[in-house]
Amino acid sequence: DAGVTQTPRHEVAEKGQTIILKCEPVSGHNDLFWYRQTKIQGLELLSYFRSKSLMEDGGAFKDRFKAEMLNSSFSTLKIQPTEPKDSAVYLCASSLTGGNTEVFFGKGTRLTVV
Amino acid sequence: GDSVTQTEGLVTLTKGLPVMLNCTYQTTYSPFLFWYVQHLNEAPKLLLKSSTDNKRTEHQGFYATLHKSSSSFHLQKSSVQLSDSALYFCALSDPANSGTYQRFGTGTKLQVVP
């Protein structure tokens, strides 16, 4: 199954720690997204890459969240330093370029900050 | 800017009853609309999509009709099953603009009880 792969599935961090979440998109996809999922806010866009170039990063998340795409098949999301309010599920997704294409999601990383 | 509104956070229904999950949108262009479904601890995945006005689209017993006159794309099913319990997201994109990406609503949790 060549879907979107996220690791780890679960992460527990102490307040102030640095954590790095990893994502492997579907092979051949040009667009990659990082979302934060919470019950209250739903899916919040953290970062959007096209062909490895950062196209958009969620303004509210700029200060402690940094996504990178080192190559077309691997991306990381660093949170530094973590805070308890960062506890959420982080989803990575990818798609072909185009406004009518399906977005493929990973199963997410559940982050708990204590 | 573009936006998607899902008014219900939680819908609880008895098995066998019909369901309609609301989705309305705001945009200046002729959109593509999507419904994604996310089962517990799983990745969101595409359920159905449409860009054709007043045409019903169906998949896995669910159906939706895009009504541009009312800016709506409500998801329906005639008889819900326990396995339909999940989180449902409505999304919007501009099919003519390859530089954009899908905008998601906050999601509606459907809970089907025996």
Would you list the domain boundaries of chain B?
Answer: 3-113
Query: Between A91, A99, A108, which is nearest B97 by CB?
Result: A99
Least confident piece of the model among A37-41, A96-100, A102-106: A96-100
Instruction: Tell me what percent of the residues of chain B surpass a pLDDT of 70.
Output: 98
Q: What is the per-residue pLDDT across A45-96, written as a single tens digit (0 to 9) for each?
A: 999 999 999 988 877 767 899 999 989 999 999 999 999 999 999 999 999 9
Cis peptide bond upstream of A25, omega within 30: no
Domains for chain A: give ranges and CATH numbers: 5-113 (2.60.40.10)
Which residue of A101, A102, A110 to mutate against B (max B Cβ within 10 Å)? Answer: A101
| Nearest chain B CA: its distance from A72 CA (Å) | 18
pLDDT tier, A40 (very low <50, low <70, confident <90, very high otherwise): confident
DSSP string, B21-43: E--EEE-SS--EEEEEEE-TTS-
Q: Which fold does the domain B3-113 belong to in CATH?
A: Immunoglobulin-like (2.60.40)
Asked if B45 lies within 8 A of A105 by C-beta distance, the reply is yes
Q: Which residues of A touch B100 (CB under 8 A)?
A: 99
Residue B20 β-bridge partners: B76
Residue A20: CB partners within 8 Å, gap ≥ 6? A76, A77, A78
Instruction: Centre a 10 Å sphere on the Cβ of residue B18 and count the other Cβ atoms it contains.
Output: 10
- Contact between A19 and A30 (Cβ < 8 Å): no
Chain B residue numbers touching A48 (CB-CB < 8 A): 101
| Mean pLDDT value of segment A97-109 | 89
Identity at B32, one-letter amino acid code: F
Residue B45 tokens read as 């995945």
A-B CB pairs within 8 A amount to: 57
Write the residue in A4, A56, A103 that is nearest to B102 by C-beta: A103
pLDDT at site A1:
56
Q: Which two tokens stand for residue B64?
A: 């939706």
In the predicted model, residues of chain B with pLDDT beneath 70 are: 98-99
User: How far off is chain B from A14, nearest CA to CA, in Å?
Assistant: 23
* Tokens of residue A64, six digits: 């402690």
Return the CA Rg of chain B.
Answer: 14
Put simply, the answer to whether A33 touches B95 (Cβ < 8 Å) is no
Distances in Å between the Cα of B108 and the Cα atoms of A29, A70, A86, B89, B111 are: 28, 35, 22, 7, 10
